[in-house]
Amino acid sequence: MPGREDVNTGVLKGGEMVNIVAVTEASEWVDESWSTRASREDMLSDFAGWHPDLAELFANVEEVYNWGLFDRDPMGSWTKGAVTLLGDACHPMLPFLSQGAAMAIEDGYILGEALGLYPDNLTEALAAYEAERRPRTSKVQLEARERGRTYHLPTEEEMAARDAEYARRAKEDPRTTGINTDWVYDYDPRRFSARMREAAE
Ligand SMILES: Cc1cc2nc3c(=O)[nH]c(=O)nc-3n(C[C@H](O)[C@H](O)[C@H](O)COP(=O)(O)OP(=O)(O)OC[C@H]3O[C@@H](n4cnc5c(N)ncnc54)[C@H](O)[C@@H]3O)c2cc1C
């Protein structure tokens, strides 16, 4: 499991390119941009002591960008009159649960269904959409934050305790790595309209 840093790589363009997401924590940096240039040297020094393969990969990178990860507390409402929000605009989340785009897609689906359920009443449609989506996305947002915290624990002792607990849980349920995310995937947006119709009967 990761410590204060973690690294994900993805091969792009049929193996021509490698995209590296290398996460490290900083308390002082607040620039909300994804185009701030950074240096290969900084990247190498942040990950000093990691496996030599990783050092070799980093030594060959051509472009490095600093990209801050920011999140927000769940919002109290998304809708004002005939305008509502979806996706990162209303529930930006840290990427540690890999759900930001998934939530935006679910939002879009439910919004379409809600508009179909109340074709002549936009207020009802947007209220139904928000009532369905805000609790779920708020939970996912907070869980992603919690995952970020447990991924980047500050001391070796805390990391060892976390890993032991995850190993214990994985033994109990071999399908998981110790982190149970069934509740994320159990949600089925296709049930929304039927549920709403049943509730109205
Ligand atoms: C490192 C990282 C890893 C991630 N991994 C995952 C993952 O594995 N799985 C997952 O589900 N999600 C992941 N996400 C999250 C995902 O990328 C976002 O949640 C998702 O892109 C949000 O979609 P969106 O349509 O709400 O917003 P965006 O994708 O931000 O789209 C908004 C669009 O609006 C445009 N725009 C902004 N202002 C204006 C304007 N004034 N006029 C016109 N256009 C405008 C922007 O240019 C942009 O194209 C990850 C995010 C990060 C940072």
DSSP line for 52-75: HHHHHHHHT-S--EE------PPP
91 shares a domain with 54: no
Residue 86 CA: nearest ligand 1 atom is 26
93 shares a domain with 37: no
116 shares a domain with 18: no
Share of the chain above pLDDT 90, in %: 53
CB-based contact 36:65 (threshold 8 Å): yes
CA 134 to chain centre: 16
91 shares a domain with 62: no
* 175-184 pLDDT, tens digit each: 777 777 889 9
Residue of 185, 181, 199, 188 whose CA lies nearest to 109: 188
Domain count, the chain: 2
160 shares a domain with 100: yes
Q: Is 76 part of a structural domain of the chain?
A: no
Q: Is 77 part of a structural domain of the chain?
A: no
Position of tokens 């009967």?
Answer: 201
99 shares a domain with 28: no
- Kindly indicate the confidence band of residue 30, based on its pLDDT and cuts at 50, 70 and 90: low
194 shares a domain with 102: yes
Measured between alpha carbons, how far is 172 from 102 in angstroms, rounded to an integer?
28
Q: Is 92 part of a structural domain of the chain?
A: yes
103 shares a domain with 15: no
140 shares a domain with 48: no
pTM: 0.85
126 shares a domain with 51: no
In the structure encoding, which two tokens stand for residue 100, read together?
Answer: 């930001």
What's the mean pLDDT in 76-102?
Answer: 96
48 shares a domain with 144: no
* 3-15 pLDDT, tens digit each: 567 788 888 888 8
Last residue of a domain, one of 66, 97, 112: 66
Report CA dihedral (37, 39, 42, 44) to the nearest 10 degrees.
Answer: 130
128 shares a domain with 61: no
Residue 102 CA: nearest ligand 1 atom is 11
Choose the residue to mutate in 23, 33, 78, 98 for probing ligand 1, maximizing ligand atoms within 8 Å of C-beta.
Answer: 98
Q: What residues does ligand 1 touch, defined as CB less than 6 Å away? A: 21, 87-89, 95, 98-102, 104
Q: Is 107 part of a structural domain of the chain?
A: yes
Measured between alpha carbons, how far is 89 from 72 in angstroms, rounded to an integer?
10
SS3 category, 12: strand
Residue 92 CA: nearest ligand 1 atom is 19
Separation of CA 69 and ligand 1 centre (Å): 13
Q: Is 1 part of a structural domain of the chain?
A: no
Q: Is 71 part of a structural domain of the chain?
A: no
What are 21's strand-pairing partners? 8
Choose the residue to mutate in 34, 93, 99, 111 for probing ligand 1, maximizing ligand atoms within 8 Å of C-beta.
Answer: 99
Nearest residue (CA) to ligand 1, atom 4? 95
Residue of 176, 158, 157 whose CA lies nearest to 167: 176
Nearest residue (CA) to ligand 1, atom 31? 88
In the structure encoding, which two tokens stand for residue 2, read together?
Answer: 């990761």
Q: Are strands 65-66 and 36-37 parallel, antiparallel or unpaired?
A: antiparallel
Which position has the higher pLDDT, 24 or 103?
103
**Domain containing 137: what range?**
87-200
Residue 67 CA: nearest ligand 1 atom is 53
The runs of H, that is alpha helices, within the chain are 40-46, 52-59, 100-117, 122-151, 156-172, 182-186, 192-200
Q: Is 27 part of a structural domain of the chain?
A: yes
Q: Is the pLDDT of residue 50 over 60?
A: yes
